[in-house]
Amino acid sequence: MFRSRLRKFAVVALLATHAHLLLAADSVLHTPSGLEAIVPSPDLPFQEYVDQNSARIRQVLARDYYALRDEPFGANYEIDKAVAMRAPFQWQPSEAACADAQPRTGFLLIHGLTDSPYLLSDVAASLRERYPCALQRGLLLPGHSTVPGDTLDMRFEDWMAVTEYGVNSFRTEVDALFMVGFSTGTSLSVRYVDAHRDDELIKGLIMLSPAIAARSRLAFLSPYLRWFSDWLSENAERDAGRYESFSMNAGAEFYELTSELSSASFSPISVPVFMAGSSADATVNMEAAREFFCTKTPRGARSMLWYQATNLDESPQEQCDGLLVLPAQSAEHRVVNLSHTSISMAPDNPHYGLDGDYSICLQYGDGSSDYSQCVDDDAQTVYGESGLGSDGRYEGKLIRRGSFNPHYAQMIEHIERFIESVN
């Protein structure tokens, strides 16, 4: 690790002015910040947890992004906006709608690996619209929202500790708590209810892009490979909402977190479960999620939306009660299938939506003509999971990795029905 970083600094020292600054920024971003998200003490008030992490994120963004790059996330992203996207949050009940009524329902939102709370911001807004008297809190997992270098040292035990802190923060304030997870956030929800099987506060799990196991069959090697290599991919970090680089340690900690969930010995949980995911998901193993849903969740108190690309042979191997297979495509939105990253975001999201500011085109290589066309030319692109076309194209068009769900409104309706059925 030391030699790798030394080489980076040596390269930086040889380059001039603008290029020098860009490479210096990249080096900083792939080195631990020293200001990673905190693991709070059990008695820390949640708003103080939000404020402390927001201050640390602001300090890192100012020092390692905005001081070294002009508009690091684009012209529409001043530092206040970027901090708000990446920070944990707390939404109190609406005063106008609830008057003096005490919140009876709470939602704890937990983001995914290399993501930020922003990946659940649309879901939070939709829940607030439907449950204005609910209390909502969004967690920030240690290692996230600062620089990808902070993922080099993060540990899943800290994520679990923050999850427990988040649940306990509701304990005297609501009668019913729903845990809402995206990707790794779903793993943490399952791990929590498994470790606290008598916790009557938890009324349901809402699992989006459920992470029961990794898609890669070689994921078991990641705990060993991290001792030989720091990075699986290093990128320039232009996304205000999440990291674009992926460390070997991130994969290793994800494997350690999830390794028990897909084992035959894992005991079924009794908490009602809602799942939504894509058959084409290239990040998590959707068959493992389906099997978990069918064998480890309570019958009559579960619902799963399986978004299937009708032109691809990706049907679930078996079906069970509560599993609903739905078409993934949307000609209106130029969506061929749904990616791992698309499930939780609405089509009108200003950052990841159909007309949003950011397009995921990293597979074409930053600076290439295909990359530029993928980012800029809507007419020549479709949305789908990475690896959709063997030649990098689908029916002659470039592929943007899906960043929104064209069926988002439908999914939210299903989530609302699930909540009402168990609350």
pLDDT, tens digit, for every residue of 166-185?
999 999 999 999 999 999 99
**What are the residue ranges spanned by the domains of the chain?**
84-328+407-422, 338-405
Q: Is the pLDDT of residue 109 over 80?
A: yes
**pLDDT higher than 80, residue 264:** yes
Cβ(356)–Cβ(350) below 8 Å? yes
Specify the residue for token string 């493992």.
Answer: 288
The gap from C-alpha 91 to its chain's centroid, in whole angstroms, comes to: 19
Report the alpha-carbon distance of residue 278 to residue 336 in Å, rounded: 12
CA distance 137 to 172: 14
Q: State the pairing for strand pair 231-233/246-247.
A: antiparallel
Burial 313-338 (b: 16+ CB within 10 A, else e): ebebeeeeebbebeebbbeebbbbbb
Percent of the chain with pLDDT over 70: 91
Region 271-299 average pLDDT: 96
Quote the tokens at residue 359: 């397009």
Q: What is the pLDDT of residue 391?
A: 83
Q: How far is CA 160 from the centre of its chain?
A: 16
**How far, in Å, are 78, 117, 124, 306, 411 from residue 343 at the CA level?**
27, 14, 14, 11, 9
What confidence score (pLDDT) does residue 341 get?
96
Alpha carbons within 13 angstroms on the beta-carbon side of residue 423 total 20
Mean pLDDT computed over 153-167: 98
User: What is the per-residue pLDDT for 286?
Assistant: 95
**Is the model's pLDDT at 316 over the cut of 50?**
yes
Which residue(s) pair with 302 in the sheet?
273
Domain at 84-328+407-422: CATH code: 3.40.50.1820
Cα→Cα distances 19→8, 26, 33, 65, 362, Å? 13, 11, 22, 15, 20
Pick the residue with more confidence: 263 or 110?
110
